[in-house]
A and B are shown apart, each in its own frame.
Chain A
């Protein structure tokens, strides 16, 4: 097994009276794709934001390369974030910039590359997600699937060590879902890096996951390879995987 490059250690997170995460621990293994599954509202996206330092836990610790990022100053966090990219559920491209400018943004802000070098890198990133022709398009001109892939291009353009994908296939048709899944696998190979993917699409997860974590009521209740999760005896996991209405998960 590769090293753990990021982890949540006994994290609690509350929004007012609402408990989002409770005693939640999770290891993100390097050079692997970890998929997080769970019911809607279970706190899956929250885990990605914790790993990126966008929110802080109420208690517990979040480590990236064994450094606790919970108590870091924003300047230190920004250094950590350069090795991590978050691909948002709805891409979150800046709608005042073209797709190319959006993808170029992290390079313009964090590197001293020339315009020509940035253009070349951006074109490569867009090409790697099958959007080479969209450099000058505005985000409003793209379909949902294309937007997500443009978001991927922005996420990977700086070649981060860890890419976090927030529900990359949600709301897409089966063909685009397949395309997105293939793209994530392709990017993982290209970057030779680590990814955490949140998804409800079990078929996609079975295609790409090295490890699967099941989140339920704010905690990881099952963790393992795809085969281990499939053969889990936990009735909650089995109900989730089969999609049955009958079982311990309250509907």
Chain B
């Protein structure tokens, strides 16, 4: 019975959580439709969530591109496939690793920051103060963060893709003596514009996940500093799990095994 009880509770909690995020998304979306947007705050959040994540995204994507190239270039040359290395690096980066790694890094840095900030506001009664002033929390706090994330994550992904391919190209040239022209020619032959668009569509979905999970975790934080800490950790863990799951689903739907 205890197992059933736990399973039942976990199921209820799951649907409560999912329902809470859907309601938050719908309320925020409602204000977007009515164009009740705090533009200045959205721009501030673009800077905080996006621009300030730039260096860490660039670093991680650079080394990811370099390591893919490092692992593949020499073997590829040995087996006579050196002119396919650029395509392999670009293929993996633009369709999968670029959007996903960028999202994971941003979830760790910016998603956690959203949860921590909103959670702190909850436990210090700032959220209650805003509500008592007649301000709508989804419009005032959530929508600017969601919009900023939706704008900035695809942009960061573009930079991440370019830097990862650049890093891969550099390693391929210096380590396996594959020329820049050969590398880029392979990239152009392998990657189409639709791959880039689909990769960016993925990052759009990841942006919604990161911002909404972060905001929901923060707004439901309870119990002082420990509660804020738990909400922050939870936002990173849940976001990353959802990013991985949705990445598989999106890859299946968008690329259909091709």
Interface contacts beyond A54-B128, A95-B126: sample of 15 additional A-B pairs, CB < 8 Å, sorted by A: A52-B132, A54-B131, A74-B136, A77-B134, A81-B131, A82-B134, A92-B128, A92-B129, A93-B129, A94-B126, A94-B129, A105-B135, A106-B133, A109-B133, A110-B133
Q: Is B124 an interface residue (CB 8 A)?
A: yes
Whether A81 and B126, one on each chain, are in contact in the complex, defined by CB atoms closer than 8 angstroms, is no
Q: Is B125 an interface residue (CB 8 A)?
A: yes
Interface core residue of B128, B130, B132 (most chain A CB under 10 Å): B132
8 A Cβ contacts from B73-125 to A: 121, 124-125
Q: How would residues 161 to 182 of chain A score, 1 for a CB under 8 Å from any chain B CB and 0 otherwise? A: 0000000000000000000000
8 A Cβ contacts from A84-142 to B: 84-86, 88-90, 92-95, 105-106, 109-110
Whether A88 and B136, one on each chain, are in contact in the complex, defined by CB atoms closer than 8 angstroms, is no
Q: Is A66 an interface residue (CB 8 A)?
A: no
Interface core residue of B121, B124, B134, B136 (most chain A CB under 10 Å): B134
Q: In the docked arrangement, what's the CA distance between A93 and B126, Å?
A: 6
CB distance from B139 to the nearest CB of A (A): 10
Q: In the docked arrangement, what's the CA distance between A164 and B212, Å?
A: 33
In the complex, what residues of B have CB within 8 A of residue A81's CB?
131-134
Q: In the docked arrangement, what's the CA distance between A78 and B36, Å?
A: 16
Whether B128 and A88, one on each chain, are in contact in the complex, defined by CB atoms closer than 8 angstroms, is yes
3 smallest beta-carbon distances between A and B, as pairs? A92-B129, A78-B134, A92-B125
Range of interface residues on chain B?
A: 10 to 19
In the complex, what residues of B have CB within 8 A of residue A54's CB?
128, 131-132
Give the B-binding residues of A (Cβ under 8 A).
49, 52, 54, 74, 77-79, 81-82, 84-86, 88-90, 92-95, 105-106, 109-110
Closest A residue to B137 by CB, please name it: A74
CB distance from A223 to the nearest CB of B (A): 25
Closest A residue to B127 by CB, please name it: A92
Give the A-binding residues of B (Cβ under 8 A).
121, 124-126, 128-136
CB distance from B218 to the nearest CB of A (A): 14
Q: In the docked arrangement, what's the CA distance between A88 and B124, Å?
A: 10
Whether B125 and A105, one on each chain, are in contact in the complex, defined by CB atoms closer than 8 angstroms, is no
In the complex, what residues of A have CB within 8 A of residue B131's CB?
54, 81
In the complex, what residues of B have CB within 8 A of residue A52's CB?
132
Whether B135 and A85, one on each chain, are in contact in the complex, defined by CB atoms closer than 8 angstroms, is no
Q: In the docked arrangement, what's the CA distance between A90 and B129, Å?
A: 11
CB distance from A91 to the nearest CB of B (A): 8
In the complex, what residues of B have CB within 8 A of residue A90's CB?
124-125
Closest B residue to A74 by CB, please name it: B136
Q: In the docked arrangement, what's the CA distance between A8 and B26, Å?
A: 33
In the complex, what residues of A have CB within 8 A of residue B133's CB?
81, 85, 105-106, 109-110
Q: In the docked arrangement, what's the CA distance between A105 and B131, Å?
A: 12
CB distance from B173 to the nearest CB of A (A): 47
Q: In the docked arrangement, what's the CA distance between A82 and B131, Å?
A: 11
11 contacts between A and B (CB under 8 A): A49-B128, A54-B131, A74-B136, A78-B134, A81-B131, A81-B132, A81-B133, A84-B132, A88-B128, A90-B125, A94-B121
In the complex, what residues of A have CB within 8 A of residue B124's CB?
90, 92, 95
CB distance from A236 to the nearest CB of B (A): 30
CB distance from A138 to the nearest CB of B (A): 14
In the complex, what residues of B have CB within 8 A of residue A74's CB?
136
Closest B residue to A79 by CB, please name it: B134
Q: In the docked arrangement, what's the CA distance between A54 and B127, Å?
A: 11
